Structure 1
Amino acid sequence: MSTTGTSHRLGRVVVVTGASGGVGRATVRAFAARGDKVALLARGREGLAAAADEVERAGGEALVVGVDVSDAKAVDDAAQQVVDTFGHIDVWVNNAFTGVFAPFTEVAPDEFRRVTEVTYLGYVFGTRAALRHMLPRDRGTIVQVGSALAYRGIPLQSAYCGAKHAIQGFNESLRCELLHARSGVRTTMVQLPGLNTPQFDWVLNRMPGRARPVAPVYQPEVAARAIVHASSHARRREYWVGGSTAATLLANAVIPGLLDRYLARTNVDAQQEEGRPEGPANLWSPADGPHGRDFGAHGRFDDESTDDSPQQWLSRNRGWMGAALTAGAAALAARKLAAPARR
């Protein structure tokens, strides 16, 4: 039995976009371990096949749907295939993305458009497809996988940061509309830190060195746990994952100008390491296609990555933690008030 809350029901139908690698790959495994039926949406055949096998071995039921999320009709058709197979959709996780590591002036207009179409409009199309099936049932949860970069832009990732900012605004607007309609459909967003995923070997890179995540680096399973938790606790508008995400977003809210200067000074070097960029770029076609390679969930940063996030635990349990702190403060105040009477 699940211990994550009464809103969880075993055997839910879950759709995950970008399911073939990285965070999506870790997330489908996490849902499968709960006995869920998982529809895997992505482009890469090798990654999808391997992910489906992992879902089945973890105890879930897999449905593979090859789709480019920038194609609205293809996403609608994929959602219909899920409903035709499993009967309905309980959870839709928008996660697919692509990007370019380069100064803005070195990103061609068609490349910028492509990143926007996949990383932003892919979420819009996925959300629309999910709502088409959830609204008539008046239930369901949409999880938007975001990033600290949804609030705080950094150098060398202008297209990706722009798309994540757009998702943030879009999701807030949609959330307000659902609340106004008193809908039973929920939407929430999960803001992620730097993660050890294969993206740094398949995103188009025009930097001098090999792309890498900004430290500290977390394993994709940290993100997957947060996404699964959010899917069962979607009344909360968003979740921050990792101490670095919390620190960045708080600093951006208080001292954004100073943060501009800090990131300008540090983050160009922090996003690359020695070595030449290598590997296929997945901007226009799946990275595993011509190479027959399954990239899996993890990147090449296992040695420096952590699978633990105390901040995430505190975030998930902030309700009873707040109550405990309030009770403790009340008890301390009562002791102080009572102290003079004992003298």
Structure 2
Amino acid sequence: MKRSELHDAIVVITGASSGIGRATAHAFARGGASVVLASRRESALQETLQECERLGGRGIVVPTDVCEADQVERLCEKAVERYGRVDVWINNAAVTLFGRLEETPRDAFEKVIQTNLMGCVNGAREAIRQFREQGHGRLINVSSMVAHSGQPFTSAYVTSKWGIRGLSECLRMELADAPDIHVSTILPASIDTPLFQRAANYVGQPVKAMTPVYPPEKVAAAIVHVARHPMREHFVGNSGRMMAALRTVAPPLGEKMMERKVNSDHFAQDLPIEPGSGNLFHSDGEGAVRGGWIEREHGGTSSGMGLALGLAAVALPLALYAYHRQA
């Protein structure tokens, strides 16, 4: 899909009411694409569509709970009914949960898996059926850097994101007979979205975005790039790329570093809070692209200093580890 072709593209985006999904809708709209926006919150989707129209795009809103296969089927039907085809399908809808496994309610854990992983499965099934019928298409699954490196207190989210990465790999092989159908995986690092404010929390401490924090527009730009130039996997944020490399070269060191990073940087030093299910079972909160984490951590400046410190924190132990291995 070349730049000139973006003007005519039909793009389905799940989780389009806020965060990465909303930023992605804006990015495609700037290119003149037609966007089919899906999430549980119709009012926020309508706001997103109005923003897209002001940016030069056009589209429709289809309220959808990706956990429900019949609703995702309806989403695809509505897109094809309106536009005749789907060129790009972006599985982006996600929720998260913080808590030790043994202290996490079973239904809350399962809801994260249903939304993130099974929602992606439901979307991929409909997208691929449509792509095969029309002979082309680009499926983009939004995973996470934690698909390469686990984390404590987020086992449901990590499990779902590893699953998405594995699903994408399987689909690429299944689609070997369809050279014009491409499957790509996006692997964002810590992104400035409202995900953390809306997270289910059974830790007893407020959570925050882990530094370094990257803007959601950076992920949106990566998704547009992959739609034009398909690739297997695409990291967004060097901290994720470096952590994945460390986890591959020195697994014990990578696990220890991630454990310490989460314990020291993923929880706010505020008063304890009561456990709660966040937005797992009920969609709430205003639709917004950003969560305000970059401003909180860096006083409104870019995350460059946090990035530099984050990379140094990873690169130095990796170099020391390599040195001692050779000694």
Query: TM-score higher than 0.5 here?
Result: yes
Partner of 1:243: 238
How far apart are residue 46 of structure 1 and its match? 2.7
Could you tell me which residue of structure 2 aligns to residue 212 of structure 1? 208
Whether the 8 Å contact between 1:201 and 1:280 is mirrored in structure 2 is no
Q: Distance in 2 between matches of 1:221 and 1:57?
A: 17
Shift of 1:131: 1.1
Letter in 2 for 1:184: D
Question: For 1:125-183, what per-residue CA distance to the aligned partner results, in whole angstroms no more than 9, with x for missing partners?
Answer: 0011111211111101000111101111101100000000011111101101112x143
Partner of 1:137: 134
Counterpart of 2:56 in structure 1 is 59
Alignment-derived partner of residue 193 in structure 2: 197
1:97 alignment partner, one of 91, 94, 100: 94
Q: CA deviation at 1:259?
A: 1.3
In 2, distance between residues paired with 1:122 and 1:72? 8
Q: Provide the rounded CA distance (Å) in 1 between the counterparts of 2:25 and 2:82.
A: 17
Secondary structure (helix, strand or coil) at the match of 1:297 reads: coil
Q: What is the DSSP-based 3-state SS (H/G/I as helix, E as strand, rest coil) of the residue aligned with 1:306?
A: coil
Name 2:264's counterpart in structure 1.
269
CA distance in 2, matches of 1:286, 1:120: 18
- For the structure 1 residues 66 and 155, does the alpha-carbon distance in structure 2 shift closer, same or farther, using more than 3 Å as the test? same
Matched, 1:50 2:47: yes
Letter in 1 for 2:98: F
Alignment of 1:306 with 2:298, yes or no, is: no
Offset at residue 280 of structure 1 (A): 7.9
Q: TM-score, normalised by structure 1?
A: 0.83
The residue type paired with residue 298 of structure 1 is R
Query: Matches of 1:280 and 1:164 in 2, distance apart?
Result: 19
Instruction: Spell out, residue by residue over 1:190-241, the C-alpha distance to the aligned partner (whole angstroms, 9 max, x if none).
Output: 110101101111111122332112110011101110011111111x211111
| C-alpha distance in 1 between matches for 2:13 and 2:101 | 30
Alignment identity in percent? 32
- The SS at the match of 2:280 is coil
2:310 aligns to what? none
Q: Matched residues in 1 for 2:143 and 2:81: separation? A: 29
Partners of 1:202 and 1:281 within 8 A in 2: yes
Q: Residue in 1 aligned with 2:72?
A: 75
2:29 pairs with 1:37: no
Hey, what's the Cα distance between the residues in 1 that align with 2:2 and 2:16? Answer: 25
Question: Whole-Å Cα distance in 2 between the matches of residues 250 and 134 of structure 1?
Answer: 34
**1:78-157 correspondence to structure 2 within 5 Å:** 78-157=75-154
SS at match of 2:281: coil
Which one-letter code corresponds to 1:26 in the other structure? A
Give the residue type in structure 1 aligned to 2:193: T
The residue number in structure 1 matching 2:250 is 255
Q: Which amino acid aligns with 2:239?
A: S
Match of 2:287 among 282, 295, 298: 295
Contact 1:149/1:165, CA 8 A, preserved across alignment: yes
**Alpha-carbon offset, residue 6 of structure 1:** 6.3
Quick check: which has more Rg, 1 or 2?
1
User: What secondary structure is seen at the aligned counterpart in 1 of 2:183?
Assistant: strand
CA distance in 1, matches of 2:44, 2:270: 26
User: Which SS does the other structure have where 2:175 is aligned?
Assistant: helix
User: In structure 1, how many angstroms separate the alpha carbons of the residues matched to 2:39 and 2:123?
Assistant: 12
Could you say what secondary structure the match of 1:92 adopts? strand
Q: Partners of 1:55 and 1:95 in 2: how far apart? A: 18
User: What TM-score, normalized to structure 2?
Assistant: 0.87
The answer (yes or no) to whether the contact 2:108–2:277 under 8 Å persists in 1 is no
- Tell me by how many angstroms 1:108 deviates: 1.2
Residues 46-84 of structure 1: CA distance to partner in whole angstroms, max 9, x if unpaired? Answer: 321211111111111121010100111110111101110
Q: In structure 2, how many angstroms separate the alpha carbons of the residues matched to 1:131 and 1:266?
A: 38
1:184 shift after superposition: 1.4
Instruction: Report the Cα distance in structure 1 between the residues aligned to 2:119 and 2:65, rounded to whole angstroms.
Output: 8
Residues 259 and 131 from structure 1, CA distance in 2 versus in 1: closer, same or farther, beyond 3 angstroms? same
Alignment of 1:150-229 (within 5 A): 150-179=147-176, 181-229=177-225
The one-letter code matched in structure 1 to 2:101 is F
2:227 to 208, 226, 231: 231
Letter in 1 for 2:260: R
Task: Specify whether residues 170 and 280 from structure 1 end up closer, same or farther in structure 2 by C-alpha distance, changes over 3 A only.
Answer: closer
Distance, in Å, in 1 between the alignment partners of 2:125 and 2:303 is: 33
Paired with 1:95 and 1:52, the residues of 2 have a C-alpha distance of 17
